[in-house]
Amino acid sequence: MRDAIEAGTILIERAAPMPDSWLPQGGPYSNGWICVGKADRSRLEASIHKAGWTFFYLAGEIKATVFGFDGQETVAKAVKRLFKSVNSRHLNSLEITRVAMSSFLGVPYATVAGHARHIQEGLVLPRPARRSDKVGSHPAVHSSIRRQRGEIADEPLFAEKAVAAWEDEGGASGHAGGRLAA
């Protein structure tokens, strides 16, 4: 049976790596997710800290709104949408910050908001690998574009180089021959 979702609930992917000191106190929620209620939250955070692991909290609220007449089922559908957002960022946890039921023109809906979280050993949150979704595109083309943007250059893109490149491309008004007029 599903636990009621409320502000303060933490949902963790069942496949997420966890320190040995944490014994799952949460119950199953939905397709591979464990629900840790507010009562067990402090034990979860303490065991992560004790093991020297990190429980990242990502800024930027994510939310989902779903119309439906069955309150808990509507909330569950909204939470599933949040799971998709968390999974797309390659993270393994979700903290619910707000659950609100309301109606529009007599049709009830639920809005569930939260923050993506991530449990891992280590202090640096890994950056998800970039992937080219364009079929038939050559990796060297993407590499040169990213290098122009300064994303993967071997040396940092300094301000002077950035300004010079911008001016050469006609980025400054009142310029002469690609350079600022004196």
Per-residue pLDDT at 75 exceeds 60:
yes
CA distance linking residue 162 with residue 142, whole number of Å: 19
What is the per-residue pLDDT for 92?
A: 92
Alpha carbon distances (Å) from 173 to 161, 166, 167 = 18, 11, 9
- The answer to whether 36 touches 9, Cβ cutoff 8 Å, is yes
- Count the neighbouring beta carbons within 10 Å of the beta carbon of residue 36: 24
| Low-confidence winner among 41-50, 63-72, 105-114 (lowest mean pLDDT) | 41-50
Q: For the stretch 141-173, what's the b/e string if a residue is b when 16 or more beta carbons lie within 10 angstroms of its beta carbon?
A: eeeeeeeeeeeeeeeeeeeeeeeeeeeeeeeee
Amino acid identity, position 180: L
Residues 6 or more apart whose CB falls under 8 angstroms from that of 34 comprise: 11, 12, 13, 14, 24, 26, 27, 28
Instruction: Tell me the per-residue pLDDT of 135-161, one tens digit each, with 9 for 90 and over.
Output: 444 444 444 444 455 444 444 445 566
pTM as predicted: 0.65
- The answer to whether 112 touches 63, Cβ cutoff 8 Å, is yes
Q: What angle do CA 28, 33, 38 make, to 5 degrees?
A: 70
